[in-house]
Chains A and B, each alone.
With several copies, the nearest count.
Chain A
Amino acid sequence: MSERENPAASDQIRKVRPHPSQNEGLIFERSSPGKAAYMLPPLDVPAVDPSAALGNSARTEDARLPEVSEFEIIRHFTRLSTWNYAIDLGMYPLGSCTMKYNARVNEVVARLDGLANAHPYQPQEVSQGALRILQTLSEQLIEITGMDAITLQPAAGAQGELTGILLMRSYLEAQGNPRKKILVPDSAHGTNPATAVTCGYAVENLKSNSSGMVDIEALTRQMNEDVAGLMLTNPNTLGVFESDIHKIAAIIHEKGGLVYMDGANMNALVGKARPGDFGIDVMHMNLHKTFSTPHGGGGPGSGPVACKKILEPFLPVPVIVTQADGSLAFDYDRPQAIGRVRMYYGNFGMHVRALAYIQANGPDGLRQTTEDAVLNANYIRKKLEDVYELPFKAPSMHEVVFSHRLQAPRGVKTGDIAKRLMDYGFHPYTTAFPAIVADHGAIMIEPTESEPKEEIDLFIAAMRSIAQEAQDNPEIILTAPHTTRVLRMDETTANRKPVLRYAHQAKVPAE
């Protein structure tokens, strides 16, 4: 621990101040028999004795759920919530995650009675509103991506990848040969290789060139009739647009392969360029990134997959069709379909939110959004490039990736800087990837369009101050954070002897 008495009181920390936050145990620890937060209306039909009705399928041991009052639940979760950082509280510059404003109107419309309480199997004649929403969103996403067809079914980006790769596979299979391998750049997100394997492909690593981009020569070398295609993120995970994208696509296409685009970085493109126009065959979007549906502490998301005409027959069932009378219907009769990737029609609640986002923006707003996202990233790049190393120099789009190379000699790594940022009142950037940053020392910053200049200036000041601390007083960084209600966690023990559930004490009698 550093000699400085109070690292929280650094003059450089202008964004936050300590304030008391309430302690709170586990909800189980509030439990006591006889407390209850529920009341059911009186039963209006004859009661049924479970053991008589269910015989030995009847439950005899209670699930030891907590017994608490309603107010205690409000207090419990309210208190817990105050321990979280959130986009509503401040900048959340997680690269690749696109932590943007989650508009409140999206939440309101998703909760409308006729939408929130719509059953997936209710007859189509009383589901036209829901179908219309699905169709409208589909059309708009097709226009935004420049593709020909779409499925909204995938539950998140990773499942979108799976769907897209299965489309490729089915298509190739229909051509006679599904092939064996998928090329995945070493800069790719972890879901890309994991997905390819789930689809029965071997992953072939594609090394990036010295600019962090697809190495065209290597690609030419590695591409052949065994390769089903390429999974490309564009802009890539360094935030750089693969400007040779037309060449890349041509190389793949020439050998009969297909190009899959991981659309996690669509926030750099919407309204400015369309993957369908630059050679992409199939791609997913993350509605919980580009289209502002909330991350919710980890999910839910939604990962629609858009594709070119040739892949359309393989889209998962059902697809929406317009009937002769103008009404909408689900079509299940699609013999070439890959099947389903999940039940029902996907994360409808997220579709509603994404459509509301597009409606609120319109063409001008979407373009301006993209421009502001790119502007913010480049501004940060400009203001930090003298104190943090830029491992790859190509122009940035919506995110910028530095490395910790200048700080590492003092023992300060990207993870440490990240922790110190918390003392400065920010959520850290992404540290986990891209792995091609030497030493894995990536500092991956995506501000999104949602940050005002003032917040970004504070972020820049914090990053610069930490760079200075790395010179003057690295210890303060290595032991950070200092101001949070818990400090660094013993993760080793958490992994070595995992404790993954509450162990009931005597207080609640075991049966």
Chain B
Amino acid sequence: MRYLPKSPEDRKAMIAEIGVSSIDDLFSQIPGEYRLRRDLRIPRAMAESEIVDFFRQRASENAAGYALFLGAGAYHHYRPVIIDSLISRGEFFTAYTPYQPEISQGTLQVIFEFQSMICELTGMEVANASMYDGSTGATEAAMMAMRLTGRDAVVVASSVHPEYREVLSTYAKYQGVAIATTKFGDDGRVDLAALDEAVTTETACVLVQSPNFFGVIEDVAAIADIAHKKGALLVVSIAEGVSLGVVKAPVEADIVSLEAQSFGVPLSFGGPYCGVIATREKFVRQIPGRLVGETKDKKGRRGYVLALSTREQHIRREKATSNICTNQALLATVATVFLSTYGREGLKELAQQNLAKAAYAASVMGVKTQGAAESKNGAGAGKARVLFSGSPRFNEFVVQTSEDPHHINHRLLEKKIVGGFPLQKFYPELGNAALWCCTELNTKEQIDAAAREVNP
């Protein structure tokens, strides 16, 4: 086998040295009846060229090279090529968790820079080294709020990504957590009155997403007031990090859970992505996951170490803040390179381009409408409608059509365009609605072509 660095001679010598007569002697601790006496029923070893061919073929069965108008928690941004150049260095991608700081300063410093950038973006004071993704990050943030408040109930906005909410439910179910879902208004934002009603003195936290699942930016300050009034914390989940180039940081939040996929992490059919939790300094001892801190070595030279690890499972075991161990370090590295590349001005300009593309696309795809109400009688043959158009939004918008969006998408596929995400499954109340996303990668030409099929 080509990865194995041993010759038959080597093996023979080592077996002799150990003092057994054959390699199988070393497996004698496994009862005979459980030893596999046959080959695994998997295909024969393949040559490298065959493996590449296999995956090339699989790749060609996907929508490679199509114009993409999907967002919904996974965003298609240009990935500067230096990202892969840098993370392809074996020193980064073949290293383990930096438990030994003397020979892991590279990873440690990168993560420290990552944490610092996340703080800058979110307006928070501390950030961790990463979580699995936005969905588990939001869930862990809610659990963190429960620990901080000693309360057991969570109020979650229905405009939070439906799959995030499903994850939250799964985690909450067996911990006796009560989850209340609160609705969005005609403007596509959290219905503040309903929220006010839902939040009680039992509420550990309110969880909202901004921009929310419809691309609409929530009134975070108002939501914070409602939560804080009852002693609940506010958790803001952000699925589209690039929005932070133009959207106000959720400084009124107590915990921010960010999905950093937009920062250079490939779409990769949904993973691996890169969650991260940021919060206020005073809450740091309840933050889950790893943290990198700055310190000095014994000669006084600056360096970095894993900090506050008494929060974690490998020390605290069943009393840990989370069971997370392996995280998303390499993708945090990706995000750090991405954010260094765009920098202070670039992230702004990038976000502005996203804003402009989505605004243009919305303008050519449908007429503006305030709410979802019209959806009920949306059978008319009129032009498509852009819902929630009175609310501030970033790079996503909801288009309501008389035609089933699956049909539209089918037509679009023939033009090598992947259309918006049909919302029926998660929001049947919106009727024939689809969630469209435009990033800097969607050209005017693509947008115009798509608009023609939406309104044929």
Which residues 339-359 of A have a CB within 8 angstroms of B? 339-350, 352, 356, 358-359
Q: Please determine whether A115 and B58 come into contact, CB atoms closer than 8 angstroms.
A: yes
Residues of B within 8 A of A53 (CB): 355, 359, 392
- A99 and B93 CA atoms in complex are apart in Å by 12
Q: Is the CB of A363 within 8 A of B39?
A: yes
Q: Give chain B nearest CB distance to A299 CB in angstroms.
A: 4
Residues of the A chain whose Cβ atoms lie less than 8 Å from the Cβ of B7: 32-35, 67
Q: Decide: A40 and B350 in contact? CB cutoff 8 A.
A: yes
Whether B345 and A36, one on each chain, are in contact in the complex, defined by CB atoms closer than 8 angstroms, is yes
Q: Which of A114, A122, A397 contacts B29 (CB 8 A)?
A: A397
With A59-B246, A62-B348, A501-B127 as given contacts, are A82 and B106 in contact (CB-CB < 8 Å)? Answer: yes
Mask for A5-43, Cβ within 8 A of B = 1, else 0? 000000000000000000000111001111111111101
B132 touches A156 (CB 8 A): yes
Partner of B337, one of A67, A73, A246, A372: A73
Asked if residues B48 and A105 are in contact (CB atoms below 8 Å), the reply is yes
Instruction: Say how far A485's CB is from chain B's closest CB, in angstroms.
Output: 7
Contacts of A368 in B (CB 8 A): 1, 4
Stretch at the interface among B16-24, B366-374, B379-387: B16-24
Query: Is A464 on the interface with B (CB-CB < 8 A)?
Result: no
Q: Please name all residues of chain B whose beta carbon is closer than 8 Å to the beta carbon of A427 when the two chains form the complex.
A: 96, 100, 103
Given the complex of chains A and B, what is the CA–CA distance between A28 and B116 in angstroms? 9
Interface band, chain A? 35 or more
- Could you tell me if B34 and A273 are in contact, using CB atoms closer than 8 angstroms? yes
Q: Which of A189-197, A405-413, A469-477 contacts B (4 or more CB under 8 A)?
A: A189-197
A129: min CB distance to chain B, Å: 3
- CB-CB under 8 A from A73, the residues of chain B are 82, 86, 337, 340-341
Inter-subunit contact A54/B247 (CB<8 Å)? yes
CB-CB nearest in chain B for A397: B29
Smallest CB separation, A287 vs chain B (Å): 10
A72 to B86, CA, bound (A): 12
Stretch at the interface among B147-155, B199-207, B224-232, B319-327: B319-327
Contact status B61-A378, CB under 8 Å = no
Greatest chain A CB density within 10 A among B41, B63, B347 is at: B63
Task: Report the nearest B residue to A435, measured CB to CB.
Answer: B317
- Bound-state Cα–Cα, A458 to B17, Å: 16
Minimum distance in angstroms from A421 CB to a CB of chain B = 9
A502 to B110 alpha-carbon distance, docked (Å): 12
Query: Do A156 and B268 contact each other (CB < 8 Å), given the known contacts A63-B347, A343-B161?
Result: no
Could you say which of B106, B308, B322 contacts A83, with CB atoms under 8 Å apart? B106
A108 to B447, CA, bound (A): 28
Cβ-defined contact, A495 with B308, below 8 A: yes
Give Cα A222 to B127, complex, Å.
Answer: 42
Report if A111 contacts B (CB, 8 A): yes
Contact with A along B18-52 (1 / 0, CB 8 A): 11100100111111001110011111111111111
Please, how many angstroms separate the alpha-carbon atoms of A481 and B100 in the complex? 11
User: Chain A: which residue is nearest B28 at the CB level?
Assistant: A395
Q: For A122, list chain B residues within 8 Å (CB).
A: 62-63, 66, 68, 70, 418
Instruction: Find out whether the CB atom of A300 lies under 8 angstroms from the CB atom of B330.
Output: yes
Contact with A along B274-286 (1 / 0, CB 8 A): 1000000000100
B377 contacts partner chain A, Cβ-Cβ < 8 Å: no
CB B242 to nearest CB in A, in angstroms, measures: 11
Let me know if B5 and A72 touch, CB within 8 A.
yes
With an 8 A cutoff between CB atoms, is B429 at the interface?
A: no
Find chain B residues with CB under 8 A from A112 CB. Answer: 55-56, 59
Given contacts A33-B7, A83-B106, A495-B307, whether A43 and B353 have CB atoms under 8 Å apart is yes
Q: Report the separation of the CA atoms of residues A129 and B62 in the bound assembly, to the nearest whole angstrom.
A: 5
Counting residue pairs across A and B whose Cβ atoms lie within 8 Å, the total is 757
Q: Would you call A60 and B248 a contact (CB within 8 A)?
A: yes
Residues of B contacting A178 in the complex (Cβ-Cβ under 8 angstroms): 174
Instruction: Report chain A residues within 8 Å CB of B267.
Output: 116-120
Scoring A101, A128, A193 by chain B CB atoms within 10 A of each residue's CB, the highest score goes to A193
Tell me whether A80 and B106 are in contact in the complex, defined as CB-CB below 8 angstroms, given that A374-B26, A488-B298, A494-B295 are known contacts.
Answer: yes
Surface stretch bound by B, among A237-245, A251-259, A305-313 = A237-245
Question: Which residue of chain B has the shortest Cβ distance to A364 in the bound complex?
Answer: B45
A53-B292 Cα distance, complex, nearest whole Å: 38
Q: Is A92 an interface residue (CB 8 A)?
A: yes
In the complex, residue of chain A having the shortest beta-carbon distance to the beta carbon of B336: A27
Nearest-neighbor residue (CB-CB) of B342 within chain A: A38
B270 within 8 A of A: yes
Within 8 A of A (CB), among B371-411: 392, 409-410
A175 at the interface (CB under 8 A from B): no
Cβ B246 vs Cβ A58 within 8 A = yes
Neighbouring A residues of B339 by C-beta, 8 Å = 65-66
- Which one of A60, A86, A372, A382 has the highest number of Cβ atoms from chain B below 10 Å of its Cβ? A86
Q: List 27 A-B contacts (CB under 8 A).
A: A27-B336, A35-B6, A41-B440, A56-B248, A58-B248, A67-B345, A80-B105, A83-B105, A87-B95, A109-B56, A112-B59, A143-B40, A194-B323, A272-B27, A297-B95, A298-B328, A299-B327, A300-B328, A339-B167, A348-B269, A360-B46, A360-B51, A365-B4, A368-B4, A452-B6, A489-B101, A495-B293
Given A46-B360, A298-B326, A500-B294, 11 extra CB contacts under 8 A: A39-B47, A74-B85, A108-B81, A118-B64, A189-B314, A245-B34, A297-B333, A345-B269, A362-B44, A374-B26, A450-B5
What are the nearest 10 A-B pairs in CB distance?
Answer: A344-B270, A296-B330, A114-B59, A362-B45, A88-B90, A298-B329, A120-B270, A129-B61, A114-B64, A129-B58
